[in-house]
Structure 1
Amino acid sequence: MSEDIRTRQGRRKQKESEKKKKDSSPKKLVLKKIGLSLAVLFGVLLIGGSITIFSMIKDAPPLDPEKLTLAQNPAILDQNDELFTTLTAVENRRLATIDEIPPLLENAFISVEDIRFREHFGLDLRRIGGAVRANVTGGFGAEGASTITQQVVKNLYLSSEKRITRKIQEQYLAIKLEQKYSKDQILEMYLNAIYFSEGAYGVVEAAERYFSKTLDELEVQDVALLAGIPQRPNFFNPFKNPEEAEKRRNVVISLMERYGKISSEEATKAREIRVEDQLKRSEKEPYPYRAFLDQVLKEVEAIDGITSTDIYTGGLTIYTTIDQDAQRFVDNLLQSEDQINFPDEFFQAGLTVVDTKTGEIKAIGGGRQKEVVKRGYNWATDPKRQPGSTIKPILDYGPAIEHLKWSTYHQIKDEPHQYTNGVPIRNFNNQYAGNVSMRHALLRSLNIPAVKAFQAVGKETAAEFGKGLGIPLDTIEEPYSLGGFTTGISTLELAGAYSAFGNEGVYNKPHTVRKVVFPDGRTIDLTPKSHMAMSDYTAFMITDMLKSAVAPGGTGVRARVDSLPMAGKTGTSNFSEQEKQRFNITSGAKDIWFAGYTTNYSIAVWTGYNTPEEGYIKYDGHSEHIAKDLFKKVMTEISKGNETPDFKQPNSVVKVGLERGTGLLPSAHTPRDQIIYEYFVKGTEPSKVSERFAKPVAPRDFMGAYQEDSAQIILSWVYPSEDRANHKFELEVSINGGSFSLISSTNDLQHIIKNPNEDSTYRFRLSAVSKDNNKLRSDPIEISITTPKKEIEEVVEETPPPIEIPDPVEDLEVEDEVQEDDEKPEEENNSEQTEEIVEQQSEDTNGT
């Protein structure tokens, strides 16, 4: 029985097993098909990838032994596309053999660039794996894995594009290079070709440029500093960015310590040394037009996708904006004292010349190189100094015109005032001018009206306006309105901002590079896009006011070039009281500026000292004018032979004649010397006519009468009450047809003449006269009054007794005498009456 059961169970199991096999057969078939498809696809990809890689490798350039000797240096072209330097003609490159390169220097570069250099075959697979992970998360090119060998290949043979093709070719050529040359030879190529900024190629030149040392004199801190520079030469240039250079140096020191190239004690000692203390600049000038070329290299370095080694060794052709004649003049002007009397060797200056219409930089004055340079700043582009009053058109009056549509005559009261936090504001002369126009406030550089304009606009609006002109404004507070910046600006930035005022409000970022062309023909256009930074009315009205600032009476008149239509502004920032006391500074300003422009060129000049140290600063009274003198000489030189059109008034601006003092339209009677002309945004000009010089209305209801009982003439008249305070009344009289004479100048509405002549005709003439201007008088009105003749009472006289008749001759003589006596009293009578009227007039006048 059990056997049957086992048999039946066995049969069931067998059937179930067979059923499962039947059910699983289609799944296996599908899996097999998928696997086969993947295998085929992988094979196709492998074959296709191999073909693609082979094609990439096939197109790779050959290893040219000549290129391994020296890098391909950039060719620099001027504004006329003419070559003016390749950097090789003056770089004086000196090579070092591997035997002359100290192990300490080798280890510094290997530690930071390629720690497995001595072990790999040209590629570092571990670094490639890390780079792949980074590129998957950050996109292709997010992180590189180039070995020193690959860098040599890339710098000498390939373009800088972050493309797979270039990377495959780079890896292929690196392997070939490793097969053909030893590690020492490759390292020698690398250390002799890399660029270290300051015009130095290779470690020999770099050691001399930064430390004035030979290779065997270099210490740990020195080799670490050099090894950190090539990643970003200009940025890690210790003369320009000592803080960043020191951070980078310490990274290299830490890597050398980690990999056992130096001891912990050596690392600690090297890190404690300040970068400034290890530097000793070489006396040799690296290349001509150094200040300009520094800016060129800075701009090219900023191009996305280009490495520093591509720039300095990749055979680029760089098209610049330099005007060699202008640059040569600027360099000579700063380096010699033939034209400018600098106070001492420490006094510095920097300037930038920009094309007003395009933003192209034509020349850069980087400083007076005879100074004992501590950091090697390019004084035109690197330092950020407080701009003083040169900022007023940018943050104060420009925004006020743009957003509030102020006219150039807009009245601002110069009076005691303070910032919103209560801190008082003072003018440079500690005085107040009362109501002044915006034009006057700007040309006299008054501080209080400038702050009031800034406050009226608001700091956010002012900041946006400034940013549109290329002024760096991460934060802004009220003192910025007077140039009290936390960090400051450069002459390059200020020249660019002012150029927009001269270019009808269009801003072009100042630049030295137009385009870059690679050896394979690829071109990168670096011309910045222009944008409308302000309305054309703002640009023109600011320009017109700044023309006044360089005219007689303006603070910048010394910089004026008489033959040119130009505009400009002075600026100074002062030493703090603490600085004056600490460094015994008795006079002078900390920063002295002048910025100005024509329709062709815009120039900003800064002058001053590097640091306020006792005995280091010397002002001779002339120093405050050097910025203006530099501007005038440069503008005069570069404008020779060029037509310089005047600034064009746009249709959005109207020129209006105004009555001085009232700001209203002049009347027909306003004197010519009381009419000034100012600019308004169209639609905001005044329409009301001033009545200040208008012809006064004549008095009315002028009447008079003789009062016989009191023997006097009483005159009266009427005048509008609202006008009486501004007018007086002049009364003239003519007696019996005689000439008119003034008998009264009064504020009253009546006049009394006592004891007038009898039987006389009095003609009175009355006029209203302006109290402000005696020439302004109404039409006269007249009345006549005749006084009656007095009646003489007849008197009967007794007959006189007879008298003795005299001798006839004697009678005749007596008769003549009597005749004369009879006529004389009548004349005296008239004279006495006129005198009486005048006396009466005098009494009336004194009474009023």
Structure 2
Amino acid sequence: MADNGQSRTARRKQKKSKKKPIWKRIFLIALIACLVIGLGVAGLFSYYIATAPEIDASKLKTPFPSKIYDKDGDLIADLGNKARTKVEYEELPDVLIDAVTATEDSRFFEHPGIDVWRIGGAVIANVTNGFGSEGASTITQQLVEKSFLSHEKKISLKVQEMWLALQLEQEYSKKQILEMYLNKVYYGSGAYGVGKAAEVYFGKTDLSKLTLPEAAILAGLPQRPSAYNPYENPELMKDRMNTVLSLMVQHGKISEKQAEKASDVKIKSLLSKSEEENNKYLAFLDRVRKEVKNKVEGANIYTDGLKIYTTIDTDVQEHVQFLLSENENNPIDYPEPQTIEVDNETKEVDMRAGMVVLDTQSGAIRAIGGGRNYTHGMNYATDINRQPGSTFKPIISYGPAIENKQWSTYHQLNDDGPYEIKGSDQEIHTWVNGGHYYDWVSMRFALRESLNVPAVKTLAEIGYGTAQKFAENLGIEFANDQIALTDAIGGSETGTNPMELAGAYRAFANGGIYNEPYAVTKVEFPDTGKTINLKPESKAVMSDYTAYMMTDMLKTAISEGTGQLADISGLPVAGKTGTTNLENKEGSPDSWFTGYTTKYTISAWTGYDYQKAILPDTKIPHALFKNTMMEISQGIETPDFEKPDSVVEKPVEEGSRPAKLPSDYTPSSEIVKELFVKGNEPTSTSEKFDQLDPVESLKATFDKKAKSIKVTWDYSSDDNVSFDVKASVNGGSMQGLSSTDDTSLEISNVEPNATYKIQVTAVSEDSSASSSEPSTVTVKASGKQDEEEQDEEEEQDNNGTEAMQVSSVNASFNPGNKKVSMSWDYSGPPATYKVVIQGISSQQVSSTNASYFLEFPHPGKTYTVSVTPVGKNGSNQGQQGSPGSAQFTIPTDQGNDEGTGNQDGDNGNEDNNGNGNDNGAENESENDSDEAA
């Protein structure tokens, strides 16, 4: 029967469900899961412990120095074996023990090897911030890690570390453990062990003489020995020392008063006079240490017994160091120190220099010149951040333009400065040719002469984003991650160093393939047999046509432009100069040269620590580059750069805009060969020098009575022309008779019975180089003359010729308008004058003065001007008299000083603190020019 509408079966089910609520099921499942996980973790931890290495007493007591090998696998350094001094526990003063334990492990003498309280705090921090964010290692654990385990942040290694620490505490006393720890720890500057560190930094071999500040420094160094190095970073070390003193107060080791007194001590006053050095390749080894530290997590080249294979070429490295030394045979003429005012204090400052040599094909670092007489400290090859000047023009402006817009090397740019920066009252100038501008020039010419205005115009046209992406692919890092207009001339807040610049230029030399410069190829761990390959991956960052065309222009910059002092005969070399300037101040605080062959890429910088100091010589980087490249290229074959199929070379009529092919009539002097991206070469032909239509109906008749020949012709074209008339007598050479606007001419006093061949050519009045094919006619002067009359006429002709003499020829060049002004004296029969400037122009004038616009003046070059009188009338007509001549010289300040003594002004802009002004001040200028054409 049903009970309250429910069956017995239903009531039974309801009763059963009430006996087991859902939360109990969840709890049961969770409990089972926890048991399973716990068993799994326990099993995993058991596995970690079972696979932990054995405690090896020999490894506890002696750090393993790392061995460094050169590019050929030869040992060049054994880091650690010369910088060790073992100390006994009894030699350790209390002040040092207190400083170390307060800093590293305050309960060292109390815990059994692991500190439960520190582990709990570290667990919370790791859960909150991620595994590895905070360690809980005791001194015992650190000793275990340094002796038996790798430095990787893995749970398995941490479990093994704690297990071995517990074991170690069972076998050794606290004193022994602390002694082993302090003898093993690396303290920077090539020293490990507290005994050697005290000697290196304070000149003390007796540790009992350590003061509180010195003990605090030694206790603070192991955390970051390179960063806290008191020789290199005394201010950072001061902060670290104060932290140690604070911990000592916190743990009751010293009083507040003692800490305050110790904190007042200046770090530099504690240091010994010089830092001990252990290897002659210091600048390169600094780079090795940094690469291993950054790329191999937890590795320490001074204690881990690594085998480190590097890219150094010791011959190249030694030569670079020689050029940066004070050796009396050094060919580089460094200037004497100069005195400047800094913060109301007079300082004597030396010129600094940094240099890098890369293998062009691989990007391997062959040598690093960290500075003049480099020890440790600022590495001027890798650590500086200085404005690059015009070395940025290929990277920021012209490279991106070729890559993204397929510009040719002939692409026309208007150097019509100054360039006004929008939204600012600032201007960018090009200080070339005495302050004048070139108007329309090719991209090749703009780069060759290092013109500023075309460079910033190019950046504005291609777009900031395009240029920034191109440059970043070459390893350039921009200040505030933002490109500025003045980066086109290397004058913003963005700085660089020789390593970064060499890496960027190498991509141009290497067909557009880039990888970060590297010093280490691989690292081997002897204990495990593990090998880590550190060669960076290469990537194509630009087209092969961009790389080749930029290289070809940079070859011109060395052979004809601003880098001529770095040119090397017989070696295909490309490169670029760069200098910077300070706002409202003449002179350059930085000078660069970066260049390359197919074998090596070199970048060199010179300057001062204080950018108020101005370089007395901006050409030392040229000398460093040239001397090094010549030395390291001896005995090896250096092929020229190979033109890819994507590039075509075409003749172009110079001055055509856009580029046009030369016509059959274009003079060879007006033809240049330029490079084009295939498919973008010019197809139309210039008509500028096309020939004019020839004269028509040319006739010549002899008038026996007048003893003259009448010449007539027709010309139906509307071209603005004059006519050049020449004649030969009895098969002799053609002689100029006249230049006339008429279509007729009378030749007087002709020779009887002589045959005259007369030639008439139409010549354009718009361009002296454009003319027609000559038309000719022949006529014979028939009839006899009285012999006496003939002799008289010949005598008159001779007298007239002798009287045709030019004298007092003067010629001068005006750089303001680029005009050559000429004048001369003449007394004799009426004449016109043939004026010739050697190798440039020839013109016919009727007065005793003339001028000529010299479009491309060559600084320092001397030209010869000759003036020849040509008879106009009677027996003198067409006869040439005796010429006169003079010379003029183009002033050397028409271009740069590359070989001429004029200053290279690769000017970017800096403020008085050495920072760039990305608004581009008026002095943001460059004059990397040598010759105007």
TM-score range, shorter chain: 0.7 to 0.9
> Would the alpha carbon gap of residues 624 and 824 (structure 1) be closer, same or farther in structure 2, given more than 3 Å must change?
closer
Q: CA deviation at 1:821?
A: 11
Query: Where does 1:596-607 land on structure 2 (aligned, <5 Å)?
Result: 596-607=595-606
Contact in 2 for aligned 1:728/1:770 (Cα 8 Å): yes
- Native 8 Å contact 2:401 2:407 kept in 1: yes
**Secondary structure of the equivalent of 2:606?**
strand
CA apart distance, 1:743:
5.4
Normalised TM-score (structure 2): 0.73
How far apart in 2 are the matches of 1:556 and 1:282?
39
Which residue in the other structure is 2:369 paired with? 365
1:697 to 677, 693, 696: 693
Residue 783 of structure 1, CA deviation = 7.8
Map 1:229-378 onto structure 2 (within 5 A): 229-242=221-234, 244-271=236-263, 279-280=271-272, 282-303=274-295, 306-307=297-298, 310-335=300-325, 336-340=327-331, 341-344=333-336, 346-369=350-373, 376-378=377-379
- Listed one character per residue, the Cα deviations across residues 524-565 of structure 1 (whole Å, up to 9, x for unaligned) are 3222111222211111111111112222x3332332332321
**Are 2:41 and 1:58 aligned?**
no
Does 2:425 match 1:422?
yes
User: 1:212 touches 1:282 (CA, 8 Å); kept in 2?
Assistant: no
1:403 and 2:411 are equivalent in the alignment: no
Query: In the alignment, what sits opposite 1:3?
Result: none
SS at match of 1:229: helix
1:247–1:452 distance in 2 versus 1, CA, 3 Å: farther
Q: 474-483 vs 211-220, which deviates more?
A: 211-220
State the AA in 1 paired with 2:161: E
Equivalent of 1:77, from 69, 72, 80?
A: 69
User: Which of these residues, 530, 551, 574, is aligned with residue 567 of structure 1?
Assistant: 574
After superposing the two structures, state which structure 1 stretch, 505-514 or 337-346, moved more.
337-346
The offset of 1:273, in angstroms, is 5.6
Alpha-carbon displacement from aligned partner over 1:567-601 (angstroms, at most 9, x marks no partner): 112222235556x8xxxxxxx63222221111111
Q: Which has the larger radius of gyration?
A: 1
State how far apart, in whole Å, the 1-side matches of 2:52 and 2:757 are.
Answer: 117
Greater relative contact order (CA < 8 Å, ≥ 6 in sequence): 2
Match of 1:131 in 2: 122
TM-score by length of 1: 0.80
Shift of the 747–114 alpha-carbon distance from structure 1 to 2, 3 Å rule, reads farther
Equivalent position of 1:432 in the other structure: 436
What does the per-residue CA deviation read over 1:274-311, in whole Å, with 9 as the maximum and x for residues that have no partner? 6566555534213331111111111111136x225x55
CA contact (8 A) 2:69 2:308 kept: yes
Give distance in 2, aligned partners of 1:447 and 1:275. Answer: 46
- Shift in alpha-carbon separation, 1:633–1:823, aligned structure 2, 3 A: closer
2:477 alignment partner AA: P
Amino acid at match of 2:158: K
- Residues 1:642 and 2:636 are matched in the alignment: yes
Secondary structure at the aligned position of 1:86 is classed as strand
Residue 639 of structure 1 aligns with an amino acid whose one-letter code is S
Distance in 2 separating the partners of 1:147 and 1:767 = 102
What is the aligned length? 770
Q: Paired residue for 2:182? A: 191
Paired position in structure 1 for 2:450: 445
Gaps of 5+ in 2: 1-10, 338-349, 798-828, 831-870, 879-933
Instruction: Quote how far apart the aligned CAs of 1:497 are.
Output: 0.8
User: What is residue 540 of structure 2 aligned with on the other side?
Assistant: 532
Structure 1 unaligned regions, length at least 5 = 1-18, 581-587, 790-819
Residue in structure 2 matched with residue 815 of structure 1 by the alignment: none
Query: Cα distance 1:528–1:242, how it changes in 2: closer, same or farther (>3 A)?
Result: farther
Q: Distance in 2 between matches of 1:49 and 1:555?
A: 70
How big is each residue's C-alpha offset from its partner over 1:460-515, in whole Å with a ceiling of 9 and x where there is no partner?
32222211111111233223222224252111111111111100011110011122
Deviates more, 1:623-632 or 1:645-654: 623-632
The SS at the match of 1:550 is helix
Amino acid at match of 2:598: T
* Higher fraction of strand: 2
> What SS is found at the alignment partner of 2:45?
helix
Deviates more, 1:495-504 or 1:246-255: 246-255
Aligned partner of 1:121 among 112, 121, 134:
112
Report the Cα distance in structure 1 between the residues aligned to 2:730 and 2:148, rounded to whole angstroms: 117
Q: Is the alpha carbon distance of 1:269 and 1:389 closer, same or farther for their aligned partners in structure 2, counting shifts above 3 Å?
A: farther
Compared CA separation, residues 209 and 418, structure 1 to 2 (3 A)? farther
Cα gap change, 1:769/1:476 in structure 2, threshold over 3 Å: closer, same or farther? Answer: same
Query: Are the aligned partners of 2:727 and 2:759 in contact in 1 as well (CA < 8 Å)?
Result: yes
More helix by share: 1
Structure 1: how far apart are the matches of 2:431 and 2:262?
A: 49
CA distance in 1, matches of 2:36, 2:730: 134
SS of residue paired to 2:523: strand
Instruction: Measure how far apart 1:31 and its partner are.
Output: 8.4
Q: 1:197 to 1:728 in 2, by over 3 A?
A: farther
The residue aligned with 2:627 is 633
Please say if residues 80 and 303 of structure 2, whose CA atoms lie closer than 8 Å, have aligned partners that are also in contact. Answer: no
Name the counterpart of 1:548.
556
Shift of 1:194: 1.5
**CA gap 1:344/1:220 in 2 versus in 1, 3 angstroms:** farther
SS at match of 1:313: coil
Q: 1:223 to 1:413 in 2, by over 3 A?
A: farther
8 Å CA contact 1:200, 1:286 repeated in 2: no
Q: Per-residue CA shift, 1:675-727, capped at 9, x if unaligned?
A: 322211222222222334333221357799999xxx99895633433x31xx4
- Aligned position for 1:769: 763
Deviates more, 1:665-674 or 1:215-224: 215-224
AA at the equivalent of 2:654 = R
**Whole-Å separation in 2 of the counterparts to 1:576 and 1:220:** 48
Displacement of 1:55: 2.8
Distance 2:492 2:304 in 1: 40
Q: Secondary structure at the match of 1:529?
A: coil
Matched ranges for 1:436-835 at <5 A: 436-473=441-478, 474-486=481-493, 488-518=495-525, 519-551=527-559, 553-575=560-582, 577=584, 589-611=588-610, 619=616, 623-662=617-656, 663-700=659-696, 717-721=714-718, 723-724=719-720, 727-731=721-725, 744-748=738-742, 750-751=743-744, 766-770=760-764, 777-781=771-775
The aligned amino acid for 2:717 is: P
> Are the counterparts in 1 of residues 150 and 298 from structure 2 also a CA contact under 8 Å?
no
- 2: distance between equivalents of 1:257 and 1:453? 62
One-letter code aligned to 2:409: T
Say whether the 8 Å CA contact 1:743–1:841 is kept in structure 2. no
d(CA) in 2 for partners of 1:731, 1:300: 83
Give, in whole Å, the separation in 2 of the partners of 1:517 and 1:497: 30
Q: In the alignment, is the contact (CA less than 8 A) between 1:549 and 1:567 conserved in 2? A: yes
Aligned to 1:810: none
Q: CA deviation at 1:240?
A: 4.2
C-alpha contact (below 8 Å) 2:692/2:770 kept by paired residues: yes
State the AA in 2 paired with 1:564: L
One-letter amino acid of the counterpart of residue 493, structure 2:
T
Judged with a 3 Å threshold, the aligned counterparts in structure 2 of structure 1 residues 751 and 154 are, in CA distance, closer, same or farther, namely: same
Is the Cα–Cα contact under 8 Å of residues 355 and 605 in structure 2 kept in the other structure? Answer: yes
Q: Which residue of 1 aligns with 2:386?
A: 385
Q: CA deviation at 1:437?
A: 2.5
